[in-house]
Structure 1
């Protein structure tokens, strides 16, 4: 009950006062429900800043055979061998994410992977909300009646429209920070001329 009341007040606070946490998850494939989590990164957003000194990146130790996805994400067998047990990674994340609104690009994938991992380890956690930078950008472009071309909603393509430099993707920490930057650009554009609360901004990214 206390958590629900706290969440209610949190979402009605000005968006710049809310607790936002950008995340990115690397997996062993493209099946959110079936493939294993290989790495998890998160970084706190305290608008207008991204607290990179509080950014974290954790590799998960797994015995599963690595696929091409691991190579794309710049992970080697030695990286995996030196990783932490899934339970430790999730426990650290849950502590950092307590009472946070999650920000991710293609957030549905990340949240499904996360919930599957939590279920696997017998842990429970729910964010105060989930903001998807991909969905927010799609909504903005559709309002402008723009035709969405293939690959127009990738993280790199979305960032380019806001004037960000190109970045090297497919590393969870780099992607989490890049997503945080995109979120702030979207949020400040959305809030220009008024002062929305966290709930109003959250609706843009649902």
Structure 2
């Protein structure tokens, strides 16, 4: 019985720290992936706002770090059709050098929606991060029903860049040959 109570308490504590569906969230899917060096990685930017907390919109900076470089951002059909074209856009021409996505709709935007696909190039072996931040030029997000500021959860993504299997095999073969040569010299 004590084990059951501990398990339930632990589950409740974890649930408090996880963003819930429709809890004003922006993030990436997949949140974690592994790709080969030289390949590209793609992640989908999504928004998830409950019907009762629709947003007028705002702007996001996309910060890319580690062995990754921006390749492209392709807006989704939802981004191109549901948002206000006068306010919505993407690029790196405003505010700062980061790539940014900004969008809005005076009628309010809500629900679980894909906003677009970000593609990055892999430059070296290692771990890269793709983070989101509120854009300083377009500003934060505001509720459609009362105009109050919103503080959405911003979830990042991790891309692990690994060497190609052939590269690892070649390295191991080379180390093996060096070992054989060293052993022959000792004789």
Whichever structure has more strand as a proportion of its residues is 2
TM-score range normalised by the length of the shorter chain: under 0.3
Q: TM-score, normalised by structure 2?
A: 0.25
